[in-house]
Amino acid sequence: MAVIKFRFEDKTNPEILVDNAEAGYSILEITEDHHIHLNHNCGGVCACSTCHIYIIKGGQSLEEISDKEEDFIDRAINPKIESRLACQCIILDDNAEIEVIIPDQKNIIGHEH
């Protein structure tokens, strides 16, 4: 199983380690399965930028970024070179070790999930 360490810009949230993530699932789906708060206004279909995250480690174990995803990242709050949309980060390797930073969700306008 893949291992994902979730860190948060909002330092009031403790790090979360998920050690049972399966290849074929998106990071957004992993957050939902483990009750990790990450907004996703479009329902995870790459039609907004609210599930914006930073991939700090393990990006090579994720599906490559598409042009459409890049377009939506440009609309995210504080995009960086490490930016991805969690709904598009499909885990490709069951042995992946991934580290993610979730931006402060208080700055995201929309639905809380």
**Domains parsed from the chain with CATH numbers:** 2-105 (3.10.20.30)
* C-alpha pair distances (Å), 16 with each of 13, 26, 34, 62: 9, 17, 9, 19
Sheet with 52-57: strands ordered across: 16-21, 2-8, 97-102, 52-57, 83-85
pLDDT range class, residue 113, cuts 50, 70, 90:
very low
What are the tens digits of pLDDT across the range 49-98? 999 999 999 999 999 999 999 999 999 999 999 999 999 999 999 999 99
**Using an 8 Å Cβ cutoff, are 84 and 65 in contact?**
yes
| Ramachandran angles phi, psi of 56, nearest 5° | -90, -30
Mean predicted confidence (pLDDT) in 25-50: 95
What are the tens digits of pLDDT across the range 5-33? 999 999 999 999 999 999 999 999 999 99
Classified as helix, coil or strand, 20 is strand
Token code pair at residue 23: 């290849």
